[in-house]
């Protein structure tokens, strides 16, 4: 950090304890006023990091040197609440107002000038690029672009972030994967819609990728349905069954294999959830679309090398929410 922020405010936040440290992007922070302050709160959620920040006018910089030294390969989605942010990079010079959302890429240098109020505030989420499953070249086309959090999926994102920050102490540790899925799906939808607005400029390969993402999101919503299969997916997206098979085949997977994997993942999550320890295993299997308990047990053992009942018995208890605060003096994370 070239010049550390002075008089940094301190705050606390309750956070989910997770097996892996959520990503964090290092930036320089250069104060633009003599009476500078910054308050940051972090909430690690699965492999994501939800955060809030309030600070005096400041210039943030992500430099090529920092990228070369450490690149966590993340996207950082920023929702501005108060003040103004001006982003400058090699291709962009845009100013964001309250209610605007923009995307930062940890692999790209940029500068953010925060001004327009005595205290600028924002909320956001940082997550590994792989979690969005968007083609990286298309996601990069969204970097720096002004999106709206005043309506549609942008408004839903604002609501979800606000609830996570305000109600963090009401969530259980086992809720972390569920919250991460909600955020991932909302963000994927927001960015997919933004790409749809530029459809005439998007190559056919990207259209197919976006359609595959929508199909996978539909499958996640229908995992409980025993009738879920290629025909149902095709009908929901107005395409032929053979086209559904082709899209999944281009990714080296089958439709049936993807459905089975997602169902097993959800069943495994429930089996290790302390809140569901009294729910019979066959009820959990049926909840996720497995109509035959024996077939579920065989598929589960093949995928995880252990029977469902044994996994439940051996699962370690989750740790509760804990206090967490990031206050590095050498570098800020946003």
Task: Tell me if 202 sits within 8 A of 195, measured CB to CB.
Answer: yes
* Residue spans per domain, the chain: 13-175+323-333, 203-314
The percentage of residues in the chain with a pLDDT greater than 70, rounded to a whole number, is 84
Q: Which parts of the chain are beta strand (E)?
A: 13-15, 26-31, 38-45, 48-55, 58-62, 74-82, 84-88, 93-96, 100-105, 110-115, 120-128, 147-148, 322-324, 332-333
Question: Is pLDDT at 324 greater than 70 in this prediction?
Answer: no
- How does pLDDT run across 188-234, given as a tens digit for each residue? 888 888 887 655 445 566 667 778 888 888 898 888 888 899 999 99
> What is the per-residue pLDDT for 327?
38
In whole angstroms, what is the distance from residue 249 CA to residue 259 CA?
Answer: 14
Question: Is pLDDT at 297 greater than 60 in this prediction?
Answer: yes
- How does pLDDT run across 15-73, given as a tens digit for each residue? 333 345 445 678 888 998 888 899 999 998 888 999 999 999 999 999 999 999 989 99
> What is the per-residue pLDDT for 75?
92
> Which of 111-120, 186-195, 226-235, 324-333 is least confident?
324-333
The strands making up 120-128's β-sheet, listed across from edge to edge, are 38-45, 48-55, 120-128, 74-82, 100-105, 147-148
Planar angle of CA 103, 105, 111, nearest 5 degrees: 80
Task: Tell me if 157 sits within 8 A of 149, measured CB to CB.
Answer: yes
What architecture (CATH level 2) is domain 13-175+323-333? Answer: Sandwich (2.60)
> Which of 129-138, 178-187, 242-251 is least confident?
129-138
Among 73, 147, 60, 145, residue whose Cα is nearest residue 108: 73
> What is the per-residue pLDDT for 92?
75
Q: What is the CATH number of domain 203-314?
A: 1.10.10.60
């Amino acid at each position: 950090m070239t010049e550390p922020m002075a008089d940094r405010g301190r705050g606390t936040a309750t956070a989910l304890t997770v097996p892996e440290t959520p990503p964090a992007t290092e930036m320089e922070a250069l104060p633009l006023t003599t009476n500078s302050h910054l308050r940051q709160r972090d909430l690690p959620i699965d492999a994501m990091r939800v955060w809030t920040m309030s600070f005096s006018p400041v210039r943030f910089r992500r430099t090529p040197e920092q990228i070369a030294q450490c690149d966590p390969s993340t996207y950082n989605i920023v929702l501005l609440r108060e003040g103004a942010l001006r982003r400058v990079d090699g291709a962009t010079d845009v100013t964001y107002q309250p209610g605007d959302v923009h995307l930062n890429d940890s692999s790209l240098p940029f500068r953010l000038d925060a001004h327009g109020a005595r205290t600028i505030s924002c909320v956001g989420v940082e997550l590994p690029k792989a979690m969005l499953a968007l083609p990286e070249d298309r996601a990069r086309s969204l970097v720096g672009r002004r999106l709206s959090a005043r309506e549609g999926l942008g408004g839903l994102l604002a609501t979800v972030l606000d609830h996570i920050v305000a109600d963090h102490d009401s969530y259980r540790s086992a809720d972390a994967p569920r919250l991460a899925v909600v955020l991932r799906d909302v963000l994927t939808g927001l960015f997919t819609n933004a790409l749809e607005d530029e459809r005439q400029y998007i190559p056919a390969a990207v259209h197919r990728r976006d359609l595959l993402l929508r199909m996978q999101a539909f499958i996640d919503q229908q995992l409980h349905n025993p009738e879920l299969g290629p025909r149902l997916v095709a009908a929901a997206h107005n395409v032929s069954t053979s086209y559904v098979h082709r899209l999944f085949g281009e990714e080296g997977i089958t439709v049936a294999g993807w459905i089975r994997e997602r169902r097993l993942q959800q069943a495994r999550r429930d089996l290790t959830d302390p809140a569901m320890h009294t729910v019979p295993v066959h009820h959990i299997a049926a909840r996720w679309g497995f109509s035959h308990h024996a077939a579920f047990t065989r598929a589960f053992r093949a995928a995880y090398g252990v029977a469902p009942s044994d996994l439940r018995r051996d699962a370690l208890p989750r740790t509760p929410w804990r206090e967490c605060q990031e206050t590095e003096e050498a570098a800020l994370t946003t």
